[in-house]
Amino acid sequence: MQKTNIHTFTVLLAAGFILASCRDTNSALPDRPVSTVVQAEADTAPVSFWVATDTHYLDKDLQDGGAAFQAYVNGGDGKILPYSEELMEALVYDVEQKKPKFLILSGDLTNNGETSSHKKLAEKLKRVEEAGTDVYVIPGNHDLNNPWARSFKADKLIVAEHIAPEDFTEMYADFGYSEALSRDKDSLSYLVNAAPGLYLLMIDSSQYANNESYGFPQTDGRILPSTLSWMDDCAKLAAGKHASIITVMHHNLLSHTSMSVAGFKLNNSQETMKTLRRNNLNLVLSGHIHMQDIARDPKSGNEGTAGAGESPVYDIATSAFAVNPHQYGAMAFDPATRAITYHSTSVDVEGWAKANGITDPNLLNFTAYAEKVFADQSYKKAMARLKESTFSEREKQSMAEVMAKLNVNYFAGTTSDALDEIKAMPGYKLWMGMDGGFMSGYIQSMAADKALSNVSLKMNLTRP
């Protein structure tokens, strides 16, 4: 029942109802060897890196574009699966052009854990590393022991082979696991030195041991008590090297919606927060909820779970790469000051398409195309939900127009930029006049004022 409720909310939310290092601090002296000077400069130079999540990659060979696939896409949660292959190729292209130091993929790598999707994705990530960018991955709730793995042929859904945890660490050995400084014995979590003075604590927050017996993938997340203890050991290891840590997990540490719904925030978020604060870790990168949102605890002053005088802990939920506007987080770390910057950036599908001689007009005008597809899905599902209401047809249409525009901006993290325009639309007042219900609550949650930007952040990492 819990799985069903979470899945239903995800569909509504995403489809229409719908975050100083161990550097050498001395100046380079004339009598130091050139190689030493170069290394010292490299250890203090700012590092650029990216984080993407919920790529939901689907091997193109698993779908023929037929009736079953179209029905699956149309009834889904906004993922643009018909262009899954092209999206990932565009991400590889962006990496090759901009050359970040490393790329983090924080779970739900595949649509539903299909073996061939994992294999094809690993091949693409190998090309990313060959271009000079390291890759670090963790699994999400879709990736392992998933009985929902399917291929699509004509009007049929066909059970597809899926992978187990041991397959994951083998397939993705070159993307974090073989470089790990430490690995948790009870999960697929690991610690890696991603750059001078910067460690990544890659946490496996998904629950997949019982998926096959349940007959569905468990969507809620938690961090095992033993893994929390292991995180303490990792923090000590980093402290011994005077390094800062970014914690990465698929599920959210903090709430990213005012809606009362379970399954997105960690089941044991309070215990996890205590572990982070105990070790002076103040930045988490997550995904799972599919929308772009940056949350902080405490929100302001001393409210929240933090005590008086404690510095804020941030949780950046980057929006799903598979969902409009198909973003990743472009980040930078300055080891001299431990400053971190984040800004959401849409993948350059159009640039990739032009560079590769693609003639598909949807890809050549992908920004407009993808937004229209997402808005249209939101509009249609709003109309379906309003079908039995007493509003006139024109009133229903005006309300659906509000839902579509709000949803586009909500998932991009740009609601504040469009809010005045949206509130002036006739349909907005109609939503506000509704007497309770999920729909009006969802509108109010999307339109709520928020002081913190959802698309950019500048902060300093504290040190264990």
25-45: per-residue pLDDT in tens? 233 334 445 444 445 455 789
Q: Which CATH number fits domain 20-352+455-460: 1.20.910.10, 3.40.50.300, 3.60.21.10, 3.20.20.140?
A: 3.60.21.10
- Whether 441 shows a pLDDT value over 50: the answer reads yes
SS3 157: strand
Domain ranges of the chain: 20-352+455-460
The two structure tokens encoding residue 243 = 């390094």
Rounded distance between C-alpha atoms, residue 285 and residue 280, angstroms: 16
Mean pLDDT of 6-23: 39
132 pLDDT band (50/70/90 cuts)? Answer: very high
Query: What's the burial of 56, exposed, middle or buried (CB within 10 Å: 0-12/13-18/19+)?
Result: buried
Q: Say if residues 77 and 15 touch (Cβ distance below 8 Å).
A: yes
12 pLDDT band (50/70/90 cuts)? Answer: very low
Rounded distance between C-alpha atoms, residue 327 and residue 417, angstroms: 17
Q: What is the structure's pLDDT at 450? A: 85
Q: What is the structure's pLDDT at 309? A: 60
Question: What secondary structure letter does DSSP report for 148?
Answer: T
433 pLDDT band (50/70/90 cuts)? Answer: confident
Mean pLDDT of 275-300: 95
Mean pLDDT of 305-329: 87
- Whether 454 shows a pLDDT value over 90: the answer reads yes
156-174: per-residue pLDDT in tens? 999 999 999 999 999 999 9
pTM: 0.90
69 pLDDT band (50/70/90 cuts)? Answer: very high
272 pLDDT band (50/70/90 cuts)? Answer: very high
289 pLDDT band (50/70/90 cuts)? Answer: very high
Mean pLDDT of 291-303: 80
Q: Could you give the C-alpha distances from 369 to 62, 77, 306, 366, in angstroms and in order?
A: 24, 17, 43, 5
- Whether 291 shows a pLDDT value over 50: the answer reads yes
138-152: per-residue pLDDT in tens? 999 999 999 999 999
- Whether 23 shows a pLDDT value over 70: the answer reads no
DSSP-H helix ranges across 262-326: 269-278
Mean pLDDT of 269-279: 97
Q: Say if residues 150 and 158 touch (Cβ distance below 8 Å).
A: yes
310 pLDDT band (50/70/90 cuts)? Answer: confident
Give the total residue count for the chain: 464
